Structure 1
Amino acid sequence: MRDLRGLSKEGAEFVAVHMVAATGLSEEDPELAWRHARAARSKGGRIAVVRETVGLVAYRAGEWAEAISELRAARRMGGGPGHVAILADCERAQGNPERALELARSDEALQLDAEGAAELRIVVAGARADMGQLDAALAHLHQGSGFDLAKPESFSARLYYAYADLLIEAERNEEALEWFIRANDADFDEETDAPDRIAELLEAREEADAALAAMGGADSGPALPDVRETGAAVAGSAGREGKSSTPDEESAGEESAVVDDFHQDSSNGDNSDADPAISNDIHQEATDHAAPSHIVNAAEREHPAVAGSDATLSIPLFSDAPGSYGATAAGDSTVAE
């Protein structure tokens, strides 16, 4: 409630109720959460943490333009690097990979911690892939911490997963299988669907083997265990014995980093501070969802709101697909705009 002290008692309670409802519903029903966030903004639009919450919820709901506008407003109000990776991912989702790369070269990007920088690397790699630069995308993921198989970080699983996903796009499925296994081995919090991706690749291999056998040909390669049953990380064990974190020398030679100089993003965008009035019935609906017991000051945190942090919203690390976590959930809206 400290961040809402500039409001009247009634206004602070109204904003707090809708913010708690928005954050609580962000995964279950992003569309409804977004409407609650906008309701909070109608009375708290001059408060950084409110604008940040609206931006993060808009991102989850797939409202890319509004997410960019609100997160930039929150950064201007509250300072700090802001959610650079989410801003870059929103630009990708709008078909602007070049602007995602600009954000990665900004002064704010230099202020990110190791985990935030890893998130941004995944988004940048995806932007490179969008531009048809797969080798550069793969090479970019190796830059920075988290890719050493012998010393995995809490965010390494996401890096390995993104790398495997790009290998699939490059039609290097056997290598992708190895990296999905490594991702599964490092994914202690089960943030990824690596076991499902492994199963898909193994099934595709078995089908190819069966087709070759029917034609009298050789099989496509040695069988690997289904990690969903065994939990074994076949390829990941090599890293624990001290293997290098990079692919083979031939692949590394092909994947030279292509880094262009871009101008820093200076576009701030216009942000409205208030929505139309919210009815008492709508406010009561929000009260039913959550009580104004506690609001985390997200604007004061150093890290983007990602899974595993103490953030108000749980925004997972990114995949190589833009806006991977912004799909709108189905459900009836009970908050009027």
Structure 2
Amino acid sequence: MARHLVATGRLIDEEPELALAHALAARRMASRIAAVREAVGLAAYHAGEWQTAIGELRTYHRMTGRQTHLAVLADCERALGRPERAIDIYRGVGRDVLNRAEAIELLMVAAGARGDLGQPDVAVAMLQVRELSAETVEVWSGRLRYAYADALLSAGRRDEAREWFARALEADEQGTTDAAERLLELDGIVLTGDDLEALAEDEADPGDEADPGSESIGDGVTEDELDLAADDGGTDDEVDLTVARDSGGKPDHGDDSDDSRHDHADDVVTASLVTDDDHAVPGQGGAGTPAPLSADEPEPAVQPGDLR
């Protein structure tokens, strides 16, 4: 079982379908170990198996009492065409449940869900948190600025979008976004295939190649736990795949459709959960920075699956 988990971690980025197969094999041996269920959920997410990812990660949350993958769950709901449910996940989380990085991830997904609903101005307002202009660059800083730039572009604010794509490129030390290409597109420069390969090579850090065996999924599992799980055999009865089945994979608008039209201010206010202080508008007074928005103004158009 442990070998299957190691293989899952090594393959999840390059060959997600094969990684999922290894994770499912591990689950057949030890379905009662939370780390195994987490591995299946994350591998399913990377493989685009959204429904399976939802069921497995909810099971992991229930088994551990943690809420560490709410952003992934919300992104799965977006991918299934249910942005309202992604927004509900964002609204329902408490300030003390997530750390800052997890809160930023969930904020970006919720803002993207607002973009899915055709509300780019709301997405722009949601993303105006003080972390956007923080001088300290975190691992998520580039993607946060990229999401904000994308939302600005969707809202028709082209000049500001270009400014923030440039800031995203500066903060994206790992090259996780295509901010450079977006900047060139805005400048009217079209790249050929060879140009894109050269750009990718320039952005890559030759001394920062990841060790394929260094990625870990889930909590540490002791050898005793592995032995117990192997003896027990485990069952799949605990799999919770009931989420979103009632709607048959279609959006369940219900009363949420009304909320998406008149509760924008709640989402903008909720965005302050990622800050330690009161909600603040980033970079006031600087060139290309967003003007302050009131809570009455309409929540980045991050695409489903962008967290992968």
User: Same-fold call, TM > 0.5?
Assistant: yes
Q: Is the 8 A contact 1:157 1:186 kept in 2?
A: yes
Number of aligned residues: 222
Report what 2:103 is aligned to. Answer: 117
For residues 30-45 of structure 1, the aligned pairs below 5 Å read: 30-45=16-31
Q: Distance in 1 between matches of 2:101 and 2:286?
A: 19
**Once the 2 structures are TM-superposed, how far is the Cα of residue 79 of structure 1 from its aligned partner?**
1.4
Q: 2:284 aligns with which of 244, 257, 263?
A: 244
Corresponding position: 1:324 with 2:306: yes
Deviation per CA, 1:223-248: give whole Å up to 9, x if none. xxxx99x99xxxxxxxxxx9538887
54, 63, 70: which one aligns with 1:84: 70
- What does residue 156 of structure 1 align with? 141
- The answer for unaligned runs of 5 or more in structure 2 is 191-198, 204-281
Give % identity: 44
1:187 alignment partner, one of 172, 175, 186: 172
For the pair 1:50 / 2:36, whether they are aligned, the reply is yes
Residue 156 of structure 2 aligns to a residue whose secondary structure is coil
CA gap of 1:321–1:55, structure 2 versus 1, over 3 A, is: same
Q: Report deviation, 1:250.
A: 7.9
- Offset of 1:137 from its aligned partner? 0.6
Contact residue 38 and residue 54 of structure 1 kept, 8 A = yes
Q: Are positions 1:104 and 2:90 aligned together?
A: yes
Task: Indicate yes or no: 2:50 matched with 1:64.
Answer: yes
Deviations 1:189-241 (A, max 9, x none): 22222112112211259xxxxxxxxxxxxxxxxxxxxx99x99xxxxxxxxxx
1:105 Cα shift? 2.0
Q: 1:18 to 1:107 in 2, by over 3 A?
A: same
Amino acid aligned to 2:284: S
- Partner Cα separation in structure 2 for residue 44 and residue 181 of structure 1: 47
**1:185 counterpart letter in structure 2:** E
User: What letter matches 1:115 in structure 2?
Assistant: A
Question: Residue 151 of structure 2 aligns with which residue?
Answer: 166
8 Å contact kept, 2:121–2:151? no
Work out the CA distance in 1 between the residues paired with 2:286 and 2:92: 27
- Structure 1 residue 81, shift from structure 2 partner: 1.5
Give how far 1:323 is off.
Answer: 1.7
- 1:58 counterpart letter in structure 2: A
> What is the match of residue 14 of structure 2?
28
What is the identity, as a one-letter code, of the residue corresponding to 2:186?
A: L
**Residue of structure 2 equivalent to 1:212:** none
TM-score (norm 2): 0.64
CA contact (8 A) 1:55 1:69 kept: yes
CA distance, structure 2, for counterparts of residue 20 and residue 194 of structure 1 = 32
Give 1:170's aligned amino acid. Answer: A
2:123 to 127, 137, 140: 137
- Structure 1's 173 and 256: CA in aligned 2 closer, same or farther, altered over 3 A? same
Distance 1:244 1:156, change over 3 A: farther
Cα distance in 1 for partners of 2:125, 2:154 equals 14
Q: Is the 8 A contact 2:70 2:106 kept in 1?
A: yes
8 A Cα contact 2:284 2:290, kept in partner: no
Alignment deviations for residues 163-200 of structure 1 (CA, whole Å, 9 cap, x no partner):
11122222332221111100011122222221121122
115, 121, 128: which is aligned to 2:114?
A: 128
Deviation at 1:258, TM superposition (A): 5.4
Distance in 2 between residues matched to 1:246 and 1:81, nearest whole Å:
37
Query: Unaligned stretches of 5+ in structure 1?
Result: 1-14, 206-226, 232-241, 260-317, 327-337
In structure 2, relative to structure 1, the CA distance for the partners of 1:246 and 1:30 (3 Å cut) is farther
Q: TM-score, normalised by structure 1?
A: 0.59
1:164/1:177 contact within 8 Å kept: yes
Structure 2 CA distance for partners of 1:250 and 1:161, relative to 1, 3 Å? closer
- State whether residues 138 and 255 of structure 1, in contact with CA within 8 Å, keep that contact through their aligned partners in structure 2: no
Q: Which residue of 1 aligns with 2:182?
A: 197
The verdict on how the C-alpha distance between 1:171 and 1:32 changes in structure 2, with shifts beyond 3 A counting, is same
